[in-house]
Every structure is written in C-alpha cells, then in structure tokens.
Amino acid sequence: MSHEKLQSHSSSNTLLSIEDLRVEYVLSEVLRVKAVNKVSLNVYKGEVLGIVGESGCGKSTLAYSILRLVPPPGRIVGGRIIYYGWNPPKDITSIPEREIRKYRWREVSLIAQAAQSTLNPIMRIGEHFIDTAFAHGEKNKERIIETAKKLLNYVMLDEGILDRYPHELSGGMKQRVIIALSLLLNPKLLILDEPTSALDLITQKCILNMLNRLKQELNLTMIFITHDLSILAEIATRIAVMYAGKIVEIAPVDNIFYDPKHPYTIGLINAIPSIVGDVHKVKSIPGIVPDLISPPPGCLFANRCPYASDICKKVDPPLKDLGGGRYVACHRYD
C-alpha cells in the first residue's frame, strides 16, 4: 500500500511520517533479524498514538528508530522517517549527526523502558536537569532550575525534590521525574515506551491521569508503546497493532475495542481479563511467533490464526484502507 493512502488527515496536521521503514539486527553476514519490516505510519499533531503488540514484535525498535538510536547490531536498512516539525521537513534517517542532536530532546523526546532506573544514584535530581540541559546547549543554570520547578509542579511533585537523591524517591515519583526531564526542552513529540510496566496498578492509574492532563495543558503529541491493550483504552486516540515487525491494524481507539478487524487484535482483546466477567474466559493466543530471521511466506500470523486459508499462507496481505482512518493487513478481515 502506498504511503500517500495513509494520509487520512491533511498533511499540515502530520507531525511525523514513517514510510516503509525496515530495521534489521545483523547477527552475521547471513543472519539478520527483520525487527521492523516495511512499516508505514503517520503521527498527527495533538494525538496519542498507541502502539501495541507482544514482546519482540518490534515496538521498541520502532521507537528507537524515530530517534535514530537503534542499538548495535541493529540498523535502519530502508525507508524514511520524515519530521514535519521543521520547515522544510527532513528525513531523520539521513540528516547529519549535528542536526540529530538538535532533534533529540528538543523536538522528540523518549522515555525508555524502566527509565527510572537510569537516574544516576549519586546525583541529586536538580543535577539531572542541569546536566541534561547543558548536554543540549542550554547554559543558564538559573533558568534551567526555574523550568525544572515548573515541570515538577506539572507532574505533581514538590520543587524540594530537586535536592533529593533518586534512592529517596518511590518508583512512581522517579517515573514522574523522568517525565518532567523529558519535557525540559519543550519537545513537540513525546515517546513513552512501556512507561507504566514497572509500577503498581494505583501508580499506573496516577501516571495515566497525569499524562492525559499534560496532553491537554501542553498540547503534547504522544506515542504510547505497550504490550497491554487495556492501558490504551484510557489514553490513546488511535491504536496501531504490531505483530512480528509489521503493522497489522490501525484504527481509532473505539474501533479497535468494539469492532476489531485483524484476528491478532481480536486475540489481544480476548486476553484481557474482565473485572466483572468470568476470568476463565480469558484466552491466550495459541502457537508461537514465526522466525524473523527467515520468515515464512504469506501472512506471519497465519500459523496462529483460526481463520487462515490457503492464500494467507502464500501471499503477504497489504495494509488495506477501510475508510474512516481504519487499515488492516488481512485477507479475511470481513
């Protein structure tokens, strides 16, 4: 499917556009893991785009690709990532390193998995803000601290936190510090990779409520990455479902939950336990993810799909436009 057909919104509303992106982990001259395989996806201004899928589907690799931070032996081998926050727009995969430094944190900021554990235990929280700003060219220490105080208030923390060490804070407090740090240079896009996975349910709820408020007050655009589809019901505007390095469905959040089109999406929904229903009705998805070093022909979900037919095992389904901002990669979606 051509990338132009993914433009369901006007181009002026597009902040980031991923076009046929391919990322591989090169294990040897002949062994390459196709972690992200021909992914096309738009991010629109002011939305919260949820990206969901099981572990190993390529979600985090996609996030790191947007910042051109794929860890070795991974590398971007094809496609483009167009950032429209600059005029003229630029392809992030090909700009020089000096421009990448202006792009990271200032334009797009990333909160990585278990980010709270990355705080330096021998540095006070205030020093983290100062070091981060200094690394990106800001040198006015007083202005940095004033900005840090405002951001800590945004995330419901007292400015006295600046004088404390990470070990003096709870997990939820550290996560909020990381969120404040990510907003220090006023980025247009915030990428959150499993930001609530290490937190208890009550703290998760607090973080989600806070992110919803920040989105409204700061007009943030977010990409929220998770393996837990139920979390996205509380925060996402649209959801992209990933499986084995590919996007298999894109739709507004209500359509995903009330009218899913891809069998994998249906499987993820059936795996969510109900707080009022019979927990024994929760179903796991049978089978295993195919080998991404030498993936089989056809649909990569075919070996686990109850609806698979002969064509599914032979022809890789394209991402089809169903109208209304809905896309699905399935021969038998109807």
Taking residues 280-288, report their average pLDDT: 79
Each domain of the chain, given as residue ranges in start order, spans 3-107+188-328, 116-186
pLDDT digits (tens, 9 = 90+) for 293-309: 999 999 999 999 999 99
pLDDT at 281: 66
Tally the residues of the chain: 334
Token pair belonging to 121: 């235990």
- Return d(Cα 153, Cα 140) in angstroms, integer: 20
pLDDT at 172: 87
Q: Are 312 and 304 in contact (CB under 8 A)?
A: no
pTM, to two decimals:
0.91
Mean pLDDT, the chain, whole residue set:
91
Residue 3 has pLDDT above 70, yes or no: no
What is the topology classification, in CATH, of domain 3-107+188-328? Rossmann fold (3.40.50)
Please enumerate in sequence order all residues whose Cβ is within 8 A of that of 119, keeping only pairs 6 or more positions apart, or say none: 125, 128, 166, 174, 177, 178
